[in-house]
Structure formats: structure tokens, C-alpha cells
Chains A and B, each alone.
Chain A
Amino acid sequence: EDKVVQSPLSLVVHEGDTVTLNCSYEVTNFRSLLWYKQEKKAPTFLFMLTSSGIEKKSGRLSSILDKKELFSILNITATQTGDSAIYLCAVISNDYKLSFGAGTTVTVRA
């Protein structure tokens, strides 16, 4: 069974801090890994990672994939209260199913 494990489950930081979120996976026939941000309802897409070692960046967020060690990290620098959300990691396998991790709840205090 495909497995996606995120850590930590939750964390609380202060504005301006940097956070690093981890996602490890055991997936048969891996294709891509995706990061989503879930605030009130639906997940919104952040990044899709397919190749190892290539950092994807969007503003204060960045992410990288290590296909040898089977993990990805999501970094958020200079955090703001608007970054408070659940961050979901998901993996697409060759059968095109998207398997989600349980998420990391990030709380940014002013």
C-alpha cells in the first residue's frame, strides 16, 4: 500500500521564522510529488516535483525532492500569519492515483 508520511504533525512559529516541512513516501511506481496548502476548505496547489534535486520556488516558498531517499521538503521563509494552514503532501503513482499525507498544521503567531 502506498504510504505518504508528513512531519511534524503540527508546529507553531512566530512571524518572520522559517519553517521546514517534511514528506517521506513509499510508493510503487512513483511519478510526481505535489504540495498543497489547505486553509478553510479545498487544497490549493503549490508545487509539483518530478525530478530530484531541482528546487521549485514561489515567493517565500520553496520545495525540493530527493528520489533516492524518497522525501521532499517544503520551506517557508519569513513566515506571515497568512501562511497559517494545513500543508498537504501528495504523491502520484503510475496508476494516476493521488495519495495524500495527513498534513502538517502550521500556525504562525503575530
Chain B
Amino acid sequence: EPEVTQTPSHQVTQMGQEVILRCVPISNHLYFYWYRQILGQKVEFLVSFYNNEISEKSEIFDDQFSVERPDGSNFTLKIRSTKLEDSAMYFCASSVLLSYNEQFFGPGTRLTVL
């Protein structure tokens, strides 16, 4: 069964460093998303992406964040200068269509900022 994959599963970084989280969405999906879940808190929407553009982003997704689809398969989330409060589980998701179809989630990357 096709699935969304994410690498790495766990990333530890120093405050102020840049990190890139990688996702490979399901191959025939057109819409891609990033979510984060701070430990013990709810899952929060960050950004949606379609046709090489950001479709929608939340207030959390500030200038420190960027997304890219550098090739036909990868979808990346970059955090330019990490802060302690960026420590969270980051989930990538993809869907065939934007609204009326379920989003399939990847296993997540746990980001720890020291």
C-alpha cells in the first residue's frame, strides 16, 4: 500500500541552526501539507502546497519556515534558525484532491532543539 515517508525520524539540532525535514508524498497525490505537534498538545496546521506554490499557511508558518518541492518526489520543510519552541513532531501529509479527500500522514520527524 502506498504511504507517505519522512526522513529523518529524529533530528537533534542546536538552537539557531537550520534544519531541513524531508517527505516523500504518495506518488499520485497533488496536495502536500506540513503539520506539527508539540509534545502533549494538539496537531497544528502549518502549510499546504500545490502546483509548486503555497496554497495556505497558518500564523505559525512565519518567515523562518519555507517549503519546497525540489524534484518530482520530495517535499521539504526548512526552518532557517531553529528556536527551542520549534521542538515538536512534524508530520507531512498528502492528498489527491484538496478538500474532499482524506490526507494521508507520514510517520513524522521528531525535532529536538537544544
Contacts and interface: CB of A to CB of B under 8 A. Distances in A.
A88 B108 CA distance: 16
Nearest to B48: A96
Interface stretch (B12-20, B79-87, B94-102): B94-102
A98 B104 contact: no
Interface string A27-58: 00001101010000111110010100000000
Nearest to B41: A102
B33 interface: yes
Nearest to B4: A42
Majority-rule SS of A interface residues? strand
Most chain B C-beta atoms within 10 Å of own C-beta, residue among A31, A42, A48: A42
Q: Size class of B's contact patch? A: 20 to 34
B43 interface: yes
Contact of A31 (B43, B45, B89, B99): B99
A96 B29 CA distance: 16
B68 interface: no
Interface string A44-86: 1100101000000000000000000000000000000000000
A92 B44 contact: no
Contact of B100 (A36, A41, A50, A102): A50
Given A96-B56, A102-B42, A45 B100 contact: no
Most chain B C-beta atoms within 10 Å of own C-beta, residue among A50, A97, A101: A97
Interface string B99-114: 1111111111000000
Interface of B: 33, 35, 41-45, 48, 55-56, 58, 89, 91, 98-108
Interface of A: 31-32, 34, 36, 41-45, 48, 50, 88, 90, 92, 94-103
Can you list the 7 inter-chain pairs with the closest CB atoms, starting with the nearest? A42-B105, A100-B43, A45-B102, A102-B42, A41-B108, A42-B107, A97-B45
